[in-house]
Amino acid sequence: WRSRGKLQIFHYQILKWVLALLVGLIVGLIGFFNNIAVENIAGFKLLLTTNLMLQNRYKAAFLWFISCNAMLAAAAAALCAYFGPAAAGSGIPEVKAYLNGVDAPSILAPSTLFVKIVGSIFGVSAGFVLGKEGPMVHTGACVASFLGQGGSRKYGFTWNWLRWRSALLWRTFSTTAVAAMVLRSLIEYCRSGNCGLFGKGGLIMFDVSSQVTSYTTMDLAAVVLLAIVGGLLGALFNFLLNRILRVYSYINEKGAPYKIILTVVISLVTSCCSFGLPWLTACTPCPPELAASGHCPTIGRSGNFKNFRCPPGQYNAMASLFLNTNDDAIRNLFSGGTESEFGVPMLLAFFTAVYSLGLVTYGVAVPSGLFIPVILSGASFGRLLGKLLGALTGLDTGLFALLGAASFLGGTMRMTVSVCVILLELTNDLLLLPLIMLVLLVSKTVADCFNKGVYEQMVRMKGLPYLEAHAEPCMRSLVAGDVVSAPLIAFSSVESVGTVVDTLRRTGHNGFPVIEDAPFAPEPELCGLVLRSHLLVLLRAKTFTADRVKTGAAEVFRKLAPFDFAKPGSGKGLTVDDLDLTEEEMAMYVDLHPIANRSPYTVVENMSLAKAAVLFRQLGLRHMCVVPRTPGRPPVVGILTRHDFMPGYIRGLFPNVLRE
Amino acid sequence: WRSRGKLQIFHYQILKWVLALLVGLIVGLIGFFNNIAVENIAGFKLLLTTNLMLQNRYKAAFLWFISCNAMLAAAAAALCAYFGPAAAGSGIPEVKAYLNGVDAPSILAPSTLFVKIVGSIFGVSAGFVLGKEGPMVHTGACVASFLGQGGSRKYGFTWNWLRWRSALLWRTFSTTAVAAMVLRSLIEYCRSGNCGLFGKGGLIMFDVSSQVTSYTTMDLAAVVLLAIVGGLLGALFNFLLNRILRVYSYINEKGAPYKIILTVVISLVTSCCSFGLPWLTACTPCPPELAASGHCPTIGRSGNFKNFRCPPGQYNAMASLFLNTNDDAIRNLFSGGTESEFGVPMLLAFFTAVYSLGLVTYGVAVPSGLFIPVILSGASFGRLLGKLLGALTGLDTGLFALLGAASFLGGTMRMTVSVCVILLELTNDLLLLPLIMLVLLVSKTVADCFNKGVYEQMVRMKGLPYLEAHAEPCMRSLVAGDVVSAPLIAFSSVESVGTVVDTLRRTGHNGFPVIEDAPFAPEPELCGLVLRSHLLVLLRAKTFTADRVKTGAAEVFRKLAPFDFAKPGSGKGLTVDDLDLTEEEMAMYVDLHPIANRSPYTVVENMSLAKAAVLFRQLGLRHMCVVPRTPGRPPVVGILTRHDFMPGYIRGLFPNVLRE
């Protein structure tokens, strides 16, 4: 920065904005493409099934339905298993860990992006109980990372959902706005009928009746009861999901074919449920006013009243929910003023089915979001409770469904503010804010008594070194020097090329302290920190000297531009084996001063580990130097990295500390 | 924490929540009281004025109006000048600085709280062009500080406005919800007519027609033009306000009577404008359909069509805006579907008047928010531009007024996300989001080319040491050792009582490094950091020894509980003069080990100052030790405090550095 002119800074600013807008545009386009593909594939599948049913060819319809689902599931699983294993699952834990500073390979690779988009379309179309929101967030992060050439900016994005990161907040805001505007204008275009089977299913926007301005004590008691039970069920969901994922990981580790088989099995179970439960459900007569206007039963298009083996003038309530895309099912559950559409036994059956299917579906090798299953089961639970308490409260069952969804989201995800913003976006009614906040507060508090949020659980299960905002209590009784892992590998400020290359080959460390020693300093002192990637670039430029002298920065930057040290856009960048050094060159010396970070953050070895962890996490460091307390020892005691702050690692070093 | 049981932690958690809810409750009550008082006082004043006008006693009406305003203004100014000088102005800069870590005296004192509430009521009732939102934020912070005994938690609060502080976010969220719910239920109660003149003016909730789902290119161009001009006018507002505040500060420094005179003069000018401008405005015939239904002209109550010296069936447009509370004026400007209510010359006159009055009003010694003046002038500007561009676009002029207000808010305050949330809350329509974001983005960008946001300007003008999120560029070329101010005052780990007392008396420093030296360590080394307040508590307990030996923590904590070291709830706490030590005691020794912070954050003296500033600000430190790079020197070079990072201070030390 110091060496750049105003014009360059201006260019850089413009570039940042253009990039942000471009990310918004592309994510908006992908979101639209995703929606339209799902609506067309799933719509075609459902339309043909319904047509076969109308001809009373039930067996054919069932076979068509089940095989269609299985094929789509197998395709999604095959894509995932062979091309992008990192694309399985929601992607939110990975993005969360990435934003926390974990740069695991392949999280944001282009192959992951491709599989995420296509696999998500197949997975949702296959009728699984899973959502496309988590994958969309991951997709957005991949796009941003791809455009930004390796991770300078990333935007988690789903429908208007803002990730509140203070520094990036404003740019994120406008990116999101662009994506939302692109999506909306395209949907507007499609409304005119240009996009095949694309109905109103693009953006979930629910019309919850909200003209309730005052609540009785009874209403509030019912809502609190709902929130408590929702929190309990959410915590149970997390617990069971954790167990199931452990079992699945054994199966998935056996290889790609096992992944596909597991996926197809779950698909068959889902299809049987979707088709079988409506089969067992009795028909309900249409409300007379709707039957007269031809709105009931609805045939061949998405709607509230599916005719499924029912005589004319009657509808199958279960089919309205199950033989539909998940978005339509949620809309049906949330719709107000339809007290009598779904009965208690039917809602109980649906809730049980969706809750279980959501649990067994998440772990399969398909890009799968958790929002939709949680909202679906929460909404059916809320509606069920609303029906049961109906006599006591004056609240609409649609509102109960919404609050039930809120309680489940609060109970599983625990991201209360984000969830609240999302629910407000979905309902577009700020007057519901107090009730939603109350429900989220209660359900989160109840669930927090039992276990952690579902995403934290997954981050932990995947072994990603996620740094918590608060230090573990055990860290208070330890000091920074306790967890330093010996032995320390350091370089002299002017080091022989052979030593550097050997060290790089021998260890996998990414940062090395540089010690200034004789003849450059009277006593050894800490000069700075060099990164592996910078060392490799410097070695490739071959600015070596025969004697142990400083070359200075000018010499190095005659051959290399600052940009050469930037992180490469894709792949792993240079490795030691890419270097092509002769024996002679190996015996020469290289000056590390020009590439050393001369102001590394340091802590004294007797600094409380908890305080060191706060420093490490707040400043977003990758390496931290531990310096000795007393003089007369080497100037660096060790280097702390992210892994040194993991509770698991500390527990291994000091088995007794963590038990206290 | 380490020594506490689970029950105590549970108690602490419960206490935190109860406190948060209590703060919400009280702030909600104060907000309600504030609203009701303003509505009653201002309503009574306006009602009497209108009645006198109806009797054609114009001179009496004017005299009543102007003297009423002047008296209210004088009362507010006298309160401010004599009881709580810190309560003048918006309060948002102070709260912002407090949250940044500046603990200036009297910002959150109970006297400030009292003056803020009562002064704000008088000020708003006096018909000034000022708002009650800024003072409400300050009031909320004072209440929280008062309840929390000296500042462990504070919540900036105005109508549902969330201050996004990551750690406190969730608790803030629920506090806000409680306050909003209290306010809403009380207003609901008042609707039934139990609170005097309290009309619909409680919460500004605008009905902006939003059924516009698609915009033409022409619409967007008009909106961008509006945003650019709004940004320019906003930047001009900041520039002029800065100048005017400088002039005012000369006047205000002369003493309390001058403050009151200045306030009354501004009040007279405001009254003349409010009464004179409608006087000069011609009457407009009522729209026939409204005249027939008796809605025009409206007499004696708040409404769109004020009859002011007009014959029956006509109304005075200027009076509709000026002879009203500010909230009602904004509602009138925002109302949609009323294209012809206000003419172009009238809007121009109103805009000019409000813009100028807002500028000259803010600096007077009255609790005064900036939101209302900025929204008022922005809305009239937007409506004006909407009228002028009316032929080109299909957008409603009410919508233009809203966007104009957004552009002014973006141009002056630059807090885009908060402003966006507030405007969304006010309009309760998420579909306006893209347009509002576009306007805010453009106007903020335009205004940022000229100067800083109005609150940053004020923080700087008040001389509060506010730490910016990003380090100044000049800090990159300095190191931490450069700004350390000599000489360093340090204590030995076991120090003579006389030395400690003398040092405390001689300097005003709040933190002192403790050096471990012979006989406790072979060579001097940094032991920790002690705070002035902890030293005073320790000295008062008189755990002294005749010889220079360690007493240990057990001895000290036999006499003192950890709670004794907590910051006192009110006042300045202990001072050196409160100590009552004999000559004998002064010759004894005191062990500083038990109260020393053994893990102070340290930086090496050659650490880049910019990096040190990031560390200081991110971790919210008050003191940071600078340690030497090479051995053989004293173990601490100096201490950095907040003031050492202020650009003004650095500029004084290195006049050439900042110019580069």
H runs (alpha helix) in B83-132: 92-100, 110-125
* B4 and chain A in contact, CB less than 8 A: no
**pLDDT confidence of residue A167:** 34
What pLDDT shows up at residue B291?
66
* pLDDT band with cut points at 50, 70 and 90 for residue B351: very high
Which of B604, B619, B625 is the best mutation test for A, with the most CBs of A within 10 A? Answer: B604
Q: How close, in Å, is residue A450 to chain B by CA atoms? A: 15
Complex prediction ipTM: 0.71
Nearest CB to B417: which of A160, A169, A606? A169
Q: Considering only CA atoms, which of A23, A300, A27 is closest in space to residue A186?
A: A27
Nearest CA in chain A to B424: A430
| Nearest CA among B587, B619, B609, B611 for reference residue B653 | B609
Q: Is the pLDDT of residue B181 over 70?
A: no
Q: Does A437 touch chain B (CB under 8 A)?
A: yes
Secondary structure element (H or E) that encloses residue B75, with its range: helix B58-82
Task: State how far residue A362 is from chain B, nearest Cα, in angstroms.
Answer: 28
DSSP B324-349: S-HHHHHHHHH-SS-TTSS-HHHHHH
Distance, CA of B358 to CA of B244 (rounded, Å) = 11
| Tokens encoding B658 | 């900042």
Helix (H/G/I), strand (E/B), else coil: A549:
coil
In this complex, is the C-beta atom of A609 within 8 Å of any C-beta atom belonging to chain B? no
Question: Does residue A525 belong to the interface with chain B, where contact is any CB pair within 8 Å?
Answer: yes
pLDDT at residue A203 is higher than 50: no
Q: CB neighbours of A221 closer than 8 A, spacing ≥ 6?
A: none
- Cis amide leading into A519 (omega within 30): yes
User: Which chain B residues touch A619 with a CB distance below 8 Å?
Assistant: 614-615, 618-619
Predicted pLDDT of residue A267: 92
pLDDT of residue A160: 31
Evaluate if residue B551 carries a pLDDT over 70: yes
Mutate to test the interface with B, among A523, A599, A626 (most CBs of B within 10 A): A599
Model pLDDT, residue A156: 35
What does the alpha-carbon distance between residue B468 and residue B446 come to, in Å, rounded to a whole number?
21
**B327 vs B405, residue with greater confidence:** B405
In the numeric block, the tokens 């014009």 are attached to A7
Region of poorest pLDDT, from A323-332, B172-181, B587-596, B648-657? B172-181
Tell which wins on pLDDT, B176 or B243. Answer: B243
3-class secondary structure, A315 = strand
- Which residues of chain A does B417 touch, with a Cβ-Cβ cutoff of 8 Å? 169-170, 173
Contact (CB<8Å) A602/B599: no
Q: Is A280 exposed, middle or buried (0-12, 13-18, 19+ CB in 10 A)?
A: exposed
Chain B residues within an 8 Å CB radius of A599 = 479, 604, 606-608, 611
Neighbouring-strand partners of residue B377: none
C-beta atoms of B180 and A434 within 8 A: yes
Range 450-479 of B in CB contact (< 8 A) with A: 469, 473, 476-477, 479
Band of pLDDT at residue A351, cut at 50, 70 and 90? very high
Token pair in block for residue A312:
């004319």
Q: How far is A148 from chain B (nearest CA, A)?
A: 22
Q: Say yes or no: A482 contacts chain B, CB-CB below 8 A.
A: no
Q: Considering only CB atoms, which chain B residues are within 8 Å of A173? A: 416-417, 420, 437
Task: Tell me, yes or no, if B207 comes closer than 8 A to chain A by beta carbon.
Answer: no
Q: How far is B5 from chain A (nearest CA, A)?
A: 12
Interchain CB distance below 8 Å, B2 and A477: yes
Output the CA–CA distances (angstroms, integers) from residue A360 to A262, A330, A354, in the order listed: 10, 20, 10
**Could you tell me if B658 lies within 8 Å of chain A, comparing CB atoms?**
no
Which are the contacts of B644, defined by CB distance < 8 A and separation ≥ 6?
B483, B484, B485, B650
| pLDDT tens-place string over residues A163-195 | 333 334 444 555 555 555 565 565 555 555 555
For residue A213, give the nearest of B188, B429, B525 by CB distance.
B188
Q: What is the pLDDT of residue A532?
A: 87
C-alpha to C-alpha distance for B184 and B425, rounded to whole angstroms: 14
- The answer, yes or no, to whether the previous bond of A487 is cis (omega within 30 of 0) is yes
Out of A64-73, A252-261, A313-322, B588-597, pick the least confident.
A313-322
Nearest chain A residue to B621, by CA = A615
* Residue A233 in this model has a pLDDT that exceeds 90: yes
The reported pLDDT for the residue numbered A448 is: 85
Q: Which of A145-159, A637-651, B58-72, B452-466 has the lowest mean pLDDT?
A: A145-159
Q: What is the pLDDT of residue B213?
A: 52
| Interchain CB contact of A188 with B (< 8 Å) | yes
pLDDT of A521 over the 70 cut: yes
Q: B425 or A404, which is more confident?
A: A404
* CA-based nearest residue to B612, from B491, B493, B467: B467
Query: What is residue A163's predicted lDDT score, i.e. its pLDDT?
Result: 33
Please state the separation of Cα B121 from the chain's center in Å.
Answer: 17
- The answer to which of A229-233, A236-240, B519-523 has the lowest mean pLDDT is B519-523
pLDDT band at B301 (very low <50, low <70, confident <90, very high): low
Chain B residues inside the 8 Å CB shell of A420: 173
> pLDDT for A409-465, tens place per residue?
889 888 766 677 667 666 656 567 778 878 888 898 888 888 888 888 888 888 778
Q: Can you give the pLDDT at residue B243?
A: 92
Report pLDDT for A486. 67
Residue A97 CA to residue A444 CA, distance in Å, equals 22
Q: Where are the alpha helices (DSSP H) in A127-255?
A: 133-147, 169-191, 217-253
Q: Are B406 and B379 in contact (CB under 8 A)?
A: no
Q: Is A217 an interface residue toward B (CB < 8 Å)?
A: no
Q: Which residues of A553-656 form beta strands (DSSP E)?
A: 589-591, 602-604, 624-627, 638-640
Model confidence band, residue A108 (pLDDT cutoffs 50, 70, 90): confident
As a whole number, the mean pLDDT across chain A is 77
Predicted confidence (pLDDT) at residue B349 exceeds the cutoff of 70: yes
Q: B430 CB near a chain A CB, below 8 Å?
A: yes
Interface probe for B, chosen from A17, A424, A437 (most Cβ of B below 10 Å), is A437
Question: Helices A217-253 and A344-362 sit at what angle, rounded to 10 degrees?
Answer: 40
State pLDDT tens for residues A12-51.
Answer: 667 766 776 777 777 777 877 887 888 788 888 888 888 8
pLDDT digits (tens, 9 = 90+) for B586-599: 888 988 888 888 88
Cβ <8 Å between B424 and A417: no
Element (H, E) at B173: helix B169-191
Mean pLDDT is lowest, of A2-11, A18-27, A550-559, for: A2-11
Burial category of B417 from C-beta neighbours within 10 Å (exposed 0-12, middle 13-18, buried 19 and up): middle
| Most confidently modeled range among B20-34, B43-57, B223-237 | B223-237
pLDDT of residue A541: 83
Average model confidence (pLDDT) across chain B? 77
CB interface of A with B, residues 315-374, below 8 Å: none
Q: Residue A435 has what pLDDT?
A: 80
Distance from CA of A632 to the nearest CA of B (A): 8
